[in-house]
Amino acid sequence: MINQLQAIDEYKTLIEEFKKICRVPFSNIYLMPNVIHRYIKSQKVFFEKSKYGIVFYFDEGTYYKVFLYIDEKQKFEISAFDKKLIVHNVYNIKQKNDELSYVQRRLREIGFTQEGTSVQIQGKTQDLLYNCRSVEKYAKTMEQKGYSCIKPEFSQFNQIEQIIADSKIIKDYHLTFRTEQEKKELEKGSYLCIVNENDEICAASITVINFGIAQAEAIAVKERYKMKGLAPILTYQRLKWVYDRNIQKIQGWILVDNETSLKYHKKIGYHLTDRYAEDWLLDV
C-alpha cells in the first residue's frame, strides 16, 4: 500500500524500524534531511513498506525519483505510477559490490532498463578559470558581433530549462526539480545565458552553489547557434561567476558516452572522480 509521507520524524521511524529487521540494508538515498523535509512540505513524497524494505517515491513533476531502503537480496517490489520511475544509483568505481549487482538484477526483473551511466567531474575554480583565460578575448570578439552573456530574469527561467531539455544533452530527470519559489530564491547568476542582438537566448546554463561547492547542472546551445564557440564562452562566464563568490570547487556529472564533453572538460582541467551514477528507467 502506497502512503504519503507526512513528516521527517515518520521517515526516520520507518528507517529505524527496518534496520531492526535488516541490519545493513542497501540504500541509494543521498539526500540531506533538509532536502527530504522540503519535499515532504510540498507533499511530494510517498512510500511503500514491505517486509523487504521501504521504497520512497519523490514526485519530480514529469517523473518519480525512486529511493530504496531494502534488503537487496530479497525480491523487493517497486509499484508503477502514472509517470515514469527513475532509480539513480551512485557508487564508487573502486568499490562496486555484490549488493549493487543484486539490485541491478532485480530492477531488470521488475522491468527497468538502464538508460545511462554518468561520471562525476570536479575541478578547482581558480585553475579552471586560468585555463580558460584565452576565451576572454574571443568573448569580446563575439560581443562585437552582438552576443553577450547575461544573468536572466526569473521570467526567462522556464525558457532556459526548455532549451536545455530540447538539447538532448541531458535527460529531463537530470534537471534538479525546484518549486517556483525555490527558483526565485536562487542567487542571481545561477541561471546564465548568451543572447544575440535581438535578445534571443542562444545558449544557457544552470549552476547552483550548495554547501560551499558549485554544482554545474547543465549547459546547452540551441541547434542553429552551435559551432560558434558559445559553449566555451558560457563555461568561462560560469567560472567567473563562481570565482567571484569565492567558491573554490566546482562539480558536475557527464554521461560517459558523451566523449566530446568529457574530452573538453578534461582539457580545461577538470578531473574524473571515482563516483559514477546509473539511471534505471521504468516507463509508463
The answer to whether residues 247 and 133 belong to one domain is yes
- φ, ψ (nearest 5 deg) of residue 196: -95, -170
Percent of the chain topping pLDDT 70: 100
Least reliable range by pLDDT among 38-42, 51-55, 129-133, 138-142: 38-42
161 versus 97: the higher-pLDDT residue is 161
Task: Give the whole-angstrom CA distance, residue 131 versus residue 268.
Answer: 6
Q: Is a pLDDT exceeding 80 seen at residue 97?
A: no
pTM: 0.89
pLDDT at residue 179 in the model: 85
pLDDT at residue 53 in the model: 95
Confidence label for 104 from pLDDT (cuts 50, 70 and 90): very high
Q: Is a pLDDT exceeding 90 seen at residue 34?
A: no
The answer to whether residues 262 and 146 belong to one domain is yes
The answer to whether residues 19 and 139 belong to one domain is no
| Cβ-count burial 243-268 (b if 16+ within 10 Å, e if not) | beeebeebbbbbbeebeebbeebeeb
The answer to whether residues 183 and 253 belong to one domain is yes
pLDDT at residue 211 in the model: 87
* pLDDT averaged over every residue in the chain: 93
pLDDT at residue 172 in the model: 80
Task: Give the whole-angstrom CA distance, residue 204 versus residue 221.
Answer: 7
Asked if the structure places residue 169 within a domain, the reply is: yes
CA dist 19 → 7, 25, 55, 244 (Å): 19, 7, 14, 45
pLDDT at residue 96 in the model: 72
Q: Count of domains in the chain?
A: 2
30 versus 185: the higher-pLDDT residue is 185
Asked if the structure places residue 281 within a domain, the reply is: no
The answer to whether residues 75 and 158 belong to one domain is no
Asked if the structure places residue 282 within a domain, the reply is: no
Read off the pLDDT of each residue in 7-36 and give the average, rounded to a whole number. 91
Q: Which of 84, 48, 83 is nearest to 68 (CA)?
A: 48
Q: First CA to last CA across the chain, in angstroms?
A: 19
pLDDT at residue 240 in the model: 97
The answer to whether residues 218 and 132 belong to one domain is yes
Read off the pLDDT of each residue in 151-160 and give the average, rounded to a whole number. 96
The answer to whether residues 174 and 255 belong to one domain is yes
Instruction: List, in sequence order, every residue forming a beta bridge with 209; answer none if it has no partner.
Output: 214
pLDDT at residue 87 in the model: 97
Residues 105-128: tens digit of each pLDDT: 999 999 999 998 999 999 999 999
Half-sphere exposure of 84 (CA within 13 A, CB side): 15
The answer to whether residues 267 and 162 belong to one domain is yes
Q: What is the CATH number of the domain that holds 182?
A: 3.40.630.30
What the block records as the C-alpha cell of 266 is 578534461
Q: Which of 149, 167, 175 is nearest to 232 (CA)?
A: 149
pLDDT at residue 95 in the model: 72
**Residue 156 belongs to what domain range?**
121-275
Q: Which of 228, 272, 268 is nearest to 133 (CA)?
A: 268
Confidence label for 35 from pLDDT (cuts 50, 70 and 90): confident
Please give, one letter per residue, the 3-state secondary structure of the chain: CEEECCCHHHHHHHHHHHHHHCCCCEECCCCCHHHHHHHHHCCCEEEEEECCEEEEEEECCCEEEEEEEECCCCCCCCCCCCCEEEEEEEEEHHHCCHHHHHHHHHHHHHCCEEEEEEEEEEEEHHHHHHHCCHHHHHHHHHHHCCCEEECCCHHHHHHHHHHHHHCCCCCHHHCCCCCHHHHHCCCCCCEEEEECCCCCEEEEEEEEEECCEEEEEEEEECHHHCCCCHHHHHHHHHHHHHHHCCCCEEEEEEECCCHHHHHHHHHCCCEEEEEEEEEEEECC
